Structure 1
């Protein structure tokens, strides 16, 4: 059984809906998962090393930017090595802007710089997730767990 940490930021509730769908899938698969919100929970980047897999959810603000709630975490990633950690990144975006899901891309680049291994391409949803998007989130969680299990055998 894998030990998973999920952290997310959600302004309108859209990324939270994605996080809930991913959490439910992993929880039903009987893996240990801890969920934290960048808005409300203390997050110490060093604790990431205690987990087999890490999920990071971030909405994209304005023209592709990280939200302010995630900026400190992003900077603090300089203080941790993520070598051997399987990481998945997800978030809600708005296709109105020229840069769709820039925060997801930025976070993926950052975790790769720190030695993390992406479970695959991050998942981006345009605004509020619909039924198909929730199914995509569940598939994302399935692929994530498969990668975590493969790496930690």
Structure 2
């Protein structure tokens, strides 16, 4: 069974909910999921696995403090031919809605990763249409490793 590694950071609970929706959907699509909060792991968490997902919120105009070390360490990895995806929550009242999601996607591509599905940005807490988008994301990305 393919293994998905999912690491997340959440400040108000919205991104944790996003991560839980993706986790459930990946499992429904036949993957084993190892989900961890970024404070509990380092970049070695991504050492093995078949699929790698980051769920983040955007702090101010970029990567949140919780993800800073992980983000910097990710830049030093070789993700050639590894499948990744990025999801998260944000607030459109800020100038850079979901900027951290874009920054993670950019780094994954720079280190050779293969985007398994389009990133999903959720406005604050996930609503029905967001759940649908996250489930579609999970189904699409899961199909890349089966």
The runs of 5 or more residues in structure 1 that have no matched partner are none
The runs of 5 or more residues in structure 2 that have no matched partner are none
Residue deviations 1:47-85, cap 9 Å, x none? 4231110010110112x2110000100111133211111
Residue deviations 1:96-128, cap 9 Å, x none? 012111000000001111111111321000111
Partner of 1:82: 79
* Alignment: residue pair count: 146
- Aligned structure 1 segments of 4 or more residues deviating by more than 4 angstroms: none
The alignment's TM-score, normalised by the length of structure 2, stands at 0.94
Partner of 2:112: 115
- Rounded Cα–Cα distance in structure 2 between residues aligned with 1:123 and 1:3: 21
- Contact 2:6-2:52 at 8 Å conserved across structures: yes
Partner of 1:38: 38
Partner of 1:147: 144
Task: Output the aligned Cα RMSD.
Answer: 1.2
- Rounded Cα–Cα distance in structure 1 between residues aligned with 2:141 and 2:30: 14
